[in-house]
Amino acid sequence: MLETLRRAVERHPEQRLAGYQADVGLQVNALYDVLRHDIGLAYVHSIISFNPDAAAFDQRVRLPTETLRQRSANCLDAALLVASLLEACSLHPALLLSRDHALVGWETHPRRGEWAWLETIVFLTSDFAEACDLGKRKAAFFRQRREQTGDATWQRLLSVKALRTQHHITPLE
């Protein structure tokens, strides 16, 4: 993970990752470019479940270092990897889970509750601006479906900071 952050520093125009003390978009863009160009993170639809209940919705999730090593991820694996990298840069990431998809986001300014979203299955086919636009559109669609149907499974926002403080979920690596 630290090597990935170091590569992002090299790709950043100001050669630094400074959390909310600097332009957040440039930092996330640098991380995205490392995953796209240096690592070549590929989307692989691999929903592995070890639950004997065929009706259950679950899947095995790879640790960020495993995702980096294999250079492939499904949507949830990639969202967790990016969330881990954002948190390591002192940003506030979140996961946006829908019925069959996951996005990653970050609070654009601390404590304002404004989020930017990133689609993480398009590293090899889309640049950062396109991935952000796609993430924004999907997040809006998920929110709209939740509001229209009243079904919370369409959009669940999980702030990593809240998961850590309220639910005592600690980093896995």
Instruction: Report pLDDT digits (tens) over 47-64.
Output: 655 545 555 455 667 889
Domain ranges of the chain: 2-45+58-167
Distance CA 48, CA 46 (A): 6
Q: What is the pTM of this model?
A: 0.90
pLDDT of residue 162: 87
DSSP 164: H
Which CATH number among 3.40.50, 1.10.3470, 3.40.1350, 3.10.620 corresponds to the domain 2-45+58-167? 3.10.620
At 63-85, the pLDDT tens digits run: 899 999 999 999 999 999 999 99
Where does residue 20 fall: left (phi above 0), alpha (psi -120 to 50 degrees), or beta otherwise?
alpha
Number of H helices, E strands in the chain: 6, 6
Q: Which tokens sit at 159?
A: 């702030």
CA triplet 59, 105, 14: central angle to 5 degrees? 125
What pLDDT tens digit does each residue of the chain (173 aa) get?
899 999 999 999 999 999 999 999 999 999 999 999 999 999 887 665 554 555 545 566 788 999 999 999 999 999 999 999 999 999 999 999 998 899 999 999 988 989 999 999 999 999 999 999 999 999 999 999 999 999 999 999 999 988 888 877 776 56
CB atoms within 10 A of CB 110: 13
